[in-house]
């Protein structure tokens, strides 16, 4: 400790601790903190770990339902009952700042961290998703970040052996220099296998398992809780962790085997953000106990590491396990079997304190609950942004209607945000473990839960899940930063509605949601307003769709010197499909099938007719203005419930939601989104008749993004049943065409309106859509 720097106001400020917070620390300790203690408070009271700027807002989320077994904030991930004694654990988290500094390792360790959150709960991870945002691909630097992030996700997921089954990728100049990398993981377990992260049992030993602690990832949580600048990025390059997916696989298998041993484990926690610091104080705080560790016993891969470095390191693939006293030998045997480093580093106490020793000397002694649960809480000022008045005053009537819809559709399909993301997902193994039912390319991914998906049972334990049971879980991740920028409340409602709509199009009803709130600096009242209104919209949407938030992540300070990112809440929603025959995909199936539009072709009550904030407006007119489309959540739910009824009745052959790019982009995707194998699309044509539609502008009809619309196909024999049922439910449903029987080698997509006829070669559209991102990324 003699080599520790003196605690000065400058050092305190460097740790991101305000003078008021430091005075609080002095009251808690009744003395000046040591250098190690200062570092501990710095990471634990960072926004990333404590949510000190957002806790009051997060309380607005719906977090309960009869199916929730572990709720938001209780543990590392939420858990939902899916019937037959089975449950799923899922969560989404961000690794934005690390990915901006070191894209490959930043993204890779983001995947590793979310996987640990899942198996820490006792669940076996079975699939992953991601939500990514980057600046314009015109920039070579953005292409470097994009390539690195995708490579990192692919590396970790593929090596670990988990399918990356779905996701979204968007590009917008607001993310220049500050990409968003949100990683999701889902796992499965039996009800009785739920593990907890509590340090219970006075005298129980505390075990460390996993690779040795190094200097990588130092104070990563604090780094993620400050504005990202060129200077901070260079200074904090060491705050980016380095991952080893093969090691994580061993750690997971050892932990699941250990958890299956009767009475061996009392509590388990991964060493994620804030590393050894967070895992020790949080487990003690949850149990209302204390914990004492000796740093000399912690495996270290660098010589001369200080207590500060050991406690704040975020080296990856490490776990803290509270062992039931008397079972030490069994625990050691399992770790040795899996060839994993381990150490007995401490003990559970009744002191209520986290006590850290180094060479027998106390270097930290802090009340565990105070640092884990009693961080400062701030109610930030909120002020409606000045820019909203200008952007919302925009009227689409200021712009001429299109006279070149044929070119407009090609232009939209060649836009990276709307084009196929096959360049991304073909780098991912989305088939490993043989559970993937619907892979990337449809509205929602679907995975099958089967017998070998489950964690191991205790020796001699009787199987509690009925034999032969299969479950089909659908998942989707959605968000639209432009909509939220233009109207944080309405845009956030749309994010939830679209996620739920994607599930409905796959045949699933929602079970729950996890969110990632990606925003700028909360100290700016206008940026905090965006966050506040967004949470209001998300909460309302999740309540309406009965998809409570089971956990998630807040990532603030996402801005570069030129300004904040577009406010970007992402929502990952998970649902269940009751029967295999109800699984539905978005692509057209057979020539002669009837095409129907559920919902209104154009929302005539919307002054901008669904064009506000639309991809069409941004791509063709270089304009990010207007109110986003209106979102009536009750109407959305009514339509989605009707769709599920139609699917269960066996009347629907395909279903695809209309979102970015409007009706024509959705119809084009229906024509060519079925990919039988690599670069072997099954193309279909379509004859569309919109002459009965009421509209004022052709661009609004073809490319507007009016909400609550779904394209369906059905056999002729089922059409009248569909129309009658829709009329009974007061659901708009109209025949708009048929899947054509044109030449399969050169299918055509044609559209007839009141005043014109348009036609496209489907093969040409497919080539544009499929190859755009690859052509940009492979350019020299």
* Element at 482 (helix H, strand E): helix 481-486
Decide the pairing of beta strands 164-171 and 124-134.
Answer: parallel
Give the pair of three-digit tokens for residue 498: 């679209």
Shortest CA distance to 261 belongs to which of 161, 169, 332? Answer: 332
Give the pair of three-digit tokens for residue 147: 């390539």
CA angle 169, 655, 92 (to 5 degrees): 35
- Using CB atoms within 10 A of its CB, is residue 238 exposed (0-12), middle (13-18) or buried (19+)? middle
Q: Is 95 a catalytic residue?
A: yes
723 in helix, strand or coil? helix
- Residues near 195 by beta carbon (within 8 Å), at least 6 away in sequence: 120, 121, 122, 259, 265, 267, 268
Question: 573-612: b or e for each residue (b if 16 or more CB lie within 10 Å)?
Answer: bbbbbeeeebbbbbbbbeeebbbbbbbbbbbeebebbbbb
Decide: 319 and 209 in contact? Cβ < 8 Å: yes
Single out the catalytic residue among 15, 48, 353, 656.
48
Shortest CA distance to 590 belongs to which of 729, 665, 689, 684? Answer: 684
CB atoms within 10 A of CB 310: 25
Half-sphere CA count of 10, side-chain side, radius 13 A? 2
Quote the distance between the C-alpha of residue 17 and its chain's center.
29
Decide: 495 and 569 in contact? Cβ < 8 Å: yes
Which DSSP symbol is given to 550?
E
Which DSSP symbol is given to 17?
-
Q: How far apart are CA 712 and CA 715, in angstroms?
A: 10
Q: How far apart are CA 617 and CA 297, in angstroms?
A: 61
- Phi/psi of residue 345, each to 5°? -105, -5
**β partners of residue 364:** 356
- Using CB atoms within 10 A of its CB, is residue 317 exposed (0-12), middle (13-18) or buried (19+)? buried
Write the DSSP assignment of 687-703 as a string of letters.
Answer: EEE-TT---S-HHHHHH
Catalogue the long-range contacts made by 342-345 (C-beta closer than 8 Å, 24 or more residues apart).
342/207, 342/208, 342/209, 343/207, 343/208, 343/297, 343/298, 343/299, 344/205, 344/206, 344/207, 344/208, 344/297, 345/206, 345/207, 345/208, 345/293, 345/294, 345/295, 345/297, 345/298
**β partners of residue 594:** 714, 738
Give the chain's radius of gyration (CA, Å). Answer: 27
Taking 3-state DSSP, the helix, strand and coil percentages for the chain, each rounded to the nearest 5, stand at 40, 25, 40
Decide: 50 and 62 in contact? Cβ < 8 Å: no
Catalytic residues: 48, 95
């Amino acid at each position: 400790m003699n080599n520790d720097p003196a605690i000065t106001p400058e050092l305190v400020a460097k740790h991101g601790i305000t003078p008021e917070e430091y005075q609080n620390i002095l009251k808690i300790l009744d003395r000046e903190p040591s250098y190690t203690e200062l570092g501990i408070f710095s990471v634990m009271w960072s926004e990333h770990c404590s949510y000190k700027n957002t806790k009051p807002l997060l309380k607005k989320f719906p977090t309960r339902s009869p199916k929730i077994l572990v709720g938001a904030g209780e543990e590392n991930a939420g858990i939902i009952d899916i019937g037959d004694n089975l449950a799923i654990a899922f969560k989404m988290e961000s690794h934005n700042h690390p990915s901006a500094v070191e894209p490959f390792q930043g993204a890779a360790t983001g995947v590793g961290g979310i996987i640990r959150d899942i198996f820490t709960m006792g669940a076996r991870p079975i699939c992953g998703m991601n939500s990514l945002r980057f600046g314009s691909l015109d920039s070579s630097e953005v292409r470097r970040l994009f390539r690195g992030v995708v490579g990192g996700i692919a590396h970790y997921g593929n090596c670990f052996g988990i399918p990356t089954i779905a996701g979204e990728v968007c590009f917008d100049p607001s993310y220049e220099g500050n990409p968003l990398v949100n990683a999701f993981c889902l796992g499965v377990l039996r009800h009785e296998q739920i593990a907890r992260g509590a340090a219970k049992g006075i005298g129980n030993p505390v075990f460390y398992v996993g690779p040795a602690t190094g200097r990588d990832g130092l104070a990563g949580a604090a780094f993620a809780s400050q504005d990202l600048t060129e200077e901070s990025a260079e200074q904090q390059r060491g705050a980016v962790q380095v991952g080893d997916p093969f090691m994580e696989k061993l750690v997971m298998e050892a932990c699941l085997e250990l958890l299956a041993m009767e009475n061996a484990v009392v509590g388990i926690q991964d060493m994620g953000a804030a590393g050894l610091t967070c895992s020790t104080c949080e487990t003690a705080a949850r149990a209302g106990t204390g914990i004492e560790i000796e740093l000399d016993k912690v495996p270290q891969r660098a010589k001369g590491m200080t207590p500060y470095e050991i406690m704040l390191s975020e080296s990856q693939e490490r776990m803290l396990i509270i062992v039931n006293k008397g079972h030490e030998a069994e625990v050691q045997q399992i770790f040795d079997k899996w060839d994993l480093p381990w150490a007995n580093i401490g003990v559970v106490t009744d002191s209520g304190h986290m006590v850290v020793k180094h060479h027998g000397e106390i270097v930290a002694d802090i009340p565990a609950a105070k640092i884990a649960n009693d961080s400062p809480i701030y109610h930030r000022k909120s002020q409606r942004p000045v820019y909203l008045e200008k952007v919302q005053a925009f009227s689409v009537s200021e712009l001429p209607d299109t006279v070149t819809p044929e070119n407009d559709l090609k232009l939209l399909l060649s836009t990276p945000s709307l084009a196929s993301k096959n360049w991304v997902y073909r780098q991912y193994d989305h088939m490993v473990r043989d559970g993937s039912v619907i892979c990337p390319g449809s509205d929602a991914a679907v995975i099958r839960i089967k017998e070998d998906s489950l964690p191991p049972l205790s020796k001699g334990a009787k199987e509690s899940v009925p034999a032969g049971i299969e479950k089909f879980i659908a998942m989707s991740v959605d968000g639209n930063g432009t909509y939220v920028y233009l109207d944080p409340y309405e845009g956030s409602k749309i994010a939830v509605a679209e996620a739920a709509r994607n599930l409905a199009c796959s045949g699933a009803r929602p079970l729950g949601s996890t969110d990632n709130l990606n925003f700028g600096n909360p100290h700016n009242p206008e940026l905090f307003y965006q966050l506040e209104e967004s949470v209001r919209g998300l909460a309302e949407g999740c309540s309406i769709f009965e998809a409570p938030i089971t956990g998630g992540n807040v990532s603030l300070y996402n801005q570069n010197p030129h300004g904040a990112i577009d406010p970007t809440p992402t929502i990952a929603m998970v649902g269940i499909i009751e029967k295999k025959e109800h699984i539905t995909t978005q692509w057209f199936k057979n020539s002669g099938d009837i095409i129907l539009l559920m919902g209104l072709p154009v929302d005539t009550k919307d002054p901008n007719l669904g064009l506000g904030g639309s991809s069409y407006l941004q791509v063709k007119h270089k304009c990010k203005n207007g109110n986003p489309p209106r979102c009536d959540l009750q109407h959305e739910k009514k339509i989605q419930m009707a769709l599920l009824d139609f699917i269960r009745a066996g009347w629907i052959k395909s279903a695809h939601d209309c979102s970015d790019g409007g009706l024509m982009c959705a119809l084009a995707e229906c024509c060519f989104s079925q990919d039988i194998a690599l670069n072997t699309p099954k193309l279909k044509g379509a004859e569309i008749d919109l002459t009965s539609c009421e509209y004022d502008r052709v661009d609004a009809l073809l490319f507007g993004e009016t909400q609550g619309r779904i394209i369906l196909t059905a056999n002729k024999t089922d059409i009248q049943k569909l129309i009658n049922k829709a009329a009974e439910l007061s659901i708009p449903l109209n025949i708009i065409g048929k899947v054509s029987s044109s030449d399969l080698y050169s299918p055509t997509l044609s559209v007839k309106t009141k005043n014109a006829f348009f036609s496209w070669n489907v093969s040409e559209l497919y080539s544009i859509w499929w190859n755009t991102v690859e052509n940009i990324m492979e350019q020299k």
